[in-house]
Amino acid sequence: MSTATTDVTTTAPLTHDEAMALQAVELDRALELLRGLEPSDWSARTDCPDWDVRQMYQHVLGACESSASMRELVHQMRAAKRHQKAHGGPLEAGLSSVQVAERASLGPDELLARLGAVAPVTVHKRTTMPALMRKARMKIDGPVVETWTIGYLIDTIYLRDLWMHRVDASRATGRELHLTAEHDGHLVADVVAEWARRHGRPFTLRLTGPAGGTFTSSGTSPAPVRAEPSAPEELELDAVEFCRTLAGRTEGSGLLTTIVPF
- Cβ(16)–Cβ(151) below 8 Å: yes
Tens of pLDDT along 70-115?
Answer: 999 999 999 999 999 999 999 999 999 999 999 999 999 999 999 9
Percent of the chain scoring above 70 in pLDDT = 95
For 257, what's the count of Cα atoms within 13 Å in the CB-facing half-sphere?
A: 2
Distance, CA of 99 to CA of 235 (rounded, Å)? 37
pLDDT at 226: 43
Task: Tell me if residue 4 falls in helix, strand or coil.
Answer: coil
pLDDT at 143: 86
Q: What does the pLDDT average to over 222-247?
A: 80
Tens of pLDDT along 106-136?
Answer: 999 999 999 999 999 999 999 999 999 999 9
What pTM value is reported for the model?
Answer: 0.93
Distance, CA of 214 to CA of 145 (rounded, Å)? 30
pLDDT at 2: 64
Query: Quick one: pLDDT band at residue 8, thresholds 50, 70, 90?
Result: very high
Query: Quick one: pLDDT band at residue 232, thresholds 50, 70, 90?
Result: confident
pLDDT at 121: 98
- Start-end ranges of CATH 1.20.120.450 in the chain? 16-173
Which CATH number applies to 16-173: 2.40.37.10, 3.40.50.2300, 1.20.120.450, 3.40.50.1860?
1.20.120.450
Q: What does the pLDDT average to over 6-23?
A: 96
* Maximum Cα interatomic distance, the chain, rounded to a whole number of Å: 63
Tens of pLDDT along 138-178?
Answer: 999 888 899 999 999 999 999 999 999 999 999 999 999 99
Q: What does the pLDDT average to over 201-221?
A: 94
Q: Which of 195, 67, 80, 163 is nearest to 120 (CA)?
A: 67
pLDDT at 1: 67
Whether the pLDDT of residue 228 is over 90: the answer is no
- Cβ(193)–Cβ(11) below 8 Å: yes
pLDDT at 225: 46
